[in-house]
Structure 1
Amino acid sequence: MTEVDRLFFALWPDEAMREQLGAAATHLRQKLRPEGRWIGPHRYHLTLHFLGDYEKLPEALAQRALEAAATVRSPRFDLPIEQAGSYRNRSIPWWLGPSQPSAPLKQLWRALRDALQAHSVPYDTKLRLSPHVTVLRDATQVLAPTPVPLVNWPVDSFALIHSHLGVDSQYRILGTWPLSGDSAPPPPDAQLGLWDA
């Protein structure tokens, strides 16, 4: 198996939130009984920005990413996980997520993007914000938007994750940064451009 080192920024749930997300996934599993490969709750995360796959962890790049993240200022917020769905790519992943990305989540995504640009950290510019937590891979059918029992995720930090894919696959947290209330959300007219900016 090819060994790959992956870097990405994500929202990283605590153990209590993993249990709640796992319960929502179990509800989905019992209700629809899909075929596929279920993801363990210990692997749950919500990707913000993807920095790439590498043959070996690029230490200098990781350091610049850490420095960039330390400059991000964004408020804490609650993220309602209320819907399941899927993508139509090859592995047909099923996910849990919000029905609409909230303004504070968009603000965090944009602030982190700007910090990466300011510190010359390469990231996948083709990926738009599509907030989701993958719970099933290799499904045999596409899932239309489906309500699930509400899980309210209090988001108070974000993290840089090193994912080693191979014989001994594992996640390693390289850094976490708290969100705070010292950065007010932009006024309503400014929020309109956050999604497409």
Structure 2
Amino acid sequence: MSSRPTSDAQQLDLLGGASSTPAEVHRLFFALMPDEVTRNSLSRTADALKAGHAALRVRWIAPARYHATVHFLGDHPMLRQDVIQGAKAAGDALVASSFDWSLDLASTFRGREPPLILRGSIVPDALQQLWQNLRERLIRAGQGAQMERTFTPHVTLGYSRGGMLEPTPVEPVRWRVERLALIHSVVGQKDYEVLQRWDLGG
């Protein structure tokens, strides 16, 4: 039986050319996830910024994706069970308190597509301690390679495509932070997967 000749496009696809399926990127991080009331307050703040700064061209984030990253654990070509187990061990060993966090300043970070963020003019001691204690636990668990040495807690509301926002006071969003989560996301997909949650002490 004769075989049909392989087209150039098929050959490119077999060799990993432009028509092949892009590889997934799996992202792991610890984050504070807002409750519904706080999420709605963050969304209203984003709406107020849209109305008050029309000159800014921003790719706004869906409210379901609002979070405050505590520690980033890297991008991976597959879901790394060793990283997950190390992260869970660090979370299980963590001792941290719940706290109140007031987010009252909007601004943009520098970058290729600058994040438009909401942060607090005051960082609660308990939040700084949470970051430091979790960092130490992650290092002990062998997961310290990707971690930053400094911490600017914030919630990203969007990404600027034109213009920067100087620090701008906003109506404070008051967030009672009571839980920490280990999050898995696939870059380009809209949903997050919560791998584990930890309640913070009273």
Do both proteins adopt the same fold according to a TM-score greater than 0.5, normalized to the shorter chain? yes
Answer yes or no: is 1:117 the counterpart of 2:139: yes
Go from structure 1 to structure 2 and tell me whether the alpha carbon gap of 1:127 and 1:85 turns closer, same or farther (over 3 Å shift). Answer: farther
Which secondary structure state, in structure 2, belongs to the residue aligned with residue 139 of structure 1?
strand
How is 1:9-88 mapped onto 2 (pairs within 5 angstroms)? 9-33=30-54, 34-88=56-110
Q: Cα gap change, 1:48/1:123 in structure 2, threshold over 3 Å: closer, same or farther?
A: farther
C-alpha distance 50-148 of structure 1, shift in aligned 2 (>3 A): same
Runs of 4+ aligned residues of structure 1 deviating over 3 Å after TM superposition are: none
Provide TM-score, normalisation by structure 2: 0.85
Give, in whole Å, the separation in 2 of the partners of 1:81 and 1:124.
26
The match for 2:112 is: 90
- Identity between Structure 1 and Structure 2 (%): 39
Cα deviation, residue 2, structure 1:
4.2
Give the length in aligned residue pairs: 180
Shift of 1:17: 1.1
User: Unmatched 5+ residue regions in structure 1?
Assistant: 182-197
Matched residues in 2 for 1:117 and 1:39: separation?
31
Instruction: Answer with 1 or 2: which has the greater Rg.
Output: 2
Shift of 1:122: 3.2
Give 1:169 deviation, angstroms: 4.0
Structure 1 position 119, deviation (Å): 1.1
1:74-109 Cα offsets, whole Å, 9 max, x none, are: 111000011101111110110111113221110000
TM-score, normalization: structure 1? Answer: 0.87
Q: Which runs of 5+ in 2 are unaligned?
A: 1-21
Shift of the alpha carbon at 1:127?
A: 4.9
